Structure 1
Amino acid sequence: MRISKRCQYALRAVFELAWRNPGEPIKTHTIARAQGMSPRFTEIILNDLKHAGFVESQRGKEGGYMLARDAKDLTVGEVIEYVQGPIVLVPEAPQTRSQATFSGSQAFREFWKEVSSAVSRVCQTRTFADLVALEETQREQCVPNYAI
């Protein structure tokens, strides 16, 4: 499974909205700067996420983007599947006669299906609120050392 740059940007944009004050609009350039993304591409991604119902926008001087749902109700898997389709590690290929005869072919097919299912399950159960909590925990554990 390869996560496209577009999908990575979408995940990072949603994370940034979950990370900041919920319900408060965040400007595109603020999201782009915080996540190290191109402002123009961030705008395109956010508009796409808006059409999908993941984010809402507010116009005006105090406008920007915010999550359309609570971060605890929005999973990483939903965003991935919207942006790039089903979460599969190895696509099911039609089996040819020669592939069916090599030793272990059935075992490996079942193994990859199991791995793919596990990855999908994690993505479908991990919410953006979970990621925010994980980030907060990691930041608390990272104590800067100012000794020279």
Structure 2
Amino acid sequence: MKISTKGRYGLTIMMELAARYGEGPTSLKSIAEKNSLSEHYLEQLIAPLRNGGLVKSIRGAYGGYILSRDPDTVTAGEIIRVLEGPVSVVDFTEEDDPAKRDLWKRIRDSIAEVIDSTTLGDLINYRDKGEPDNYMFYI
């Protein structure tokens, strides 16, 4: 499974909203500028996120978007499925070789387990930690 820009940028939108959770609405323009992304493209992605019940829109001069739920309850899996569709590595049928079919199902289930157990809160905490490189050199 390869996540397209829809899934990657959608996750970016959601992480930005999660980082500002409880602070009021955030404009897509500010998210686009901060992440060097196309505001027009983000506008196309926000509609399915809103229709999927993950974000709410706030109208007005100081409007924008907010998460509809706490970041610790929104998973990466929900976001990716709203934007990309079901998690699938390959299309397979019941007529496929049972060994290969079992492999594809196990891979799919492993991916689903990771994205379904990772919340926006987890992603924000990891990003804010500023994890250094794995290598430390002293001179």
Q: Which runs of 4+ in 1 moved over 6 A?
A: none
Q: If the length of structure 2 is used for normalisation, what is the TM-score?
A: 0.85
Pick from 102, 113, 130: which aligns with 2:122? 130
Residue 24 of structure 1 corresponds to 24
Unpaired runs of 5+ in structure 1? 101-105, 143-148
Residue 115 of structure 1 corresponds to 107
Higher mean C-alpha displacement, 69-78 vs 82-91: 82-91
CA-CA distance at 1:83 after TM superposition: 1.4
* Alignment-mate amino acid for residue 63 of structure 2: G
**Structure number with bigger Rg:** 1
% identical aligned pairs = 32
Are the structure 2 counterparts of residues 50 and 113 from structure 1 closer, same or farther at C-alpha, using a change threshold of 3 Å?
Answer: same
* Alignment-mate amino acid for residue 64 of structure 2: G
SS at match of 1:56: strand
SS at match of 2:14: helix
Q: Distance in 1 between matches of 2:51 and 2:43?
A: 12
Q: Distance in 2 between matches of 1:21 and 1:109?
A: 42
Residue 82 of structure 1 corresponds to 82
Q: Deviations over 1:77-99 (max 9, x none)?
A: 01111112111212223536xxx
Residue 92 of structure 2 corresponds to 92
Residue 103 of structure 1 corresponds to none
2:45·2:83 contact (CA, 8 Å) conserved in 1?
no
Q: If the length of structure 1 is used for normalisation, what is the TM-score?
A: 0.80
CA-CA distance at 1:44 after TM superposition: 2.0
Say how many residue pairs are matched.
Answer: 133
RMSD: 1.9
SS at match of 1:117: helix
- Superposed, 1:27-42 pairs within 5 Å as 27-42=27-42
SS at match of 1:57: strand
Unpaired runs of 5+ in structure 2? 134-139
Q: Distance in 1 between matches of 2:48 and 2:101?
A: 35
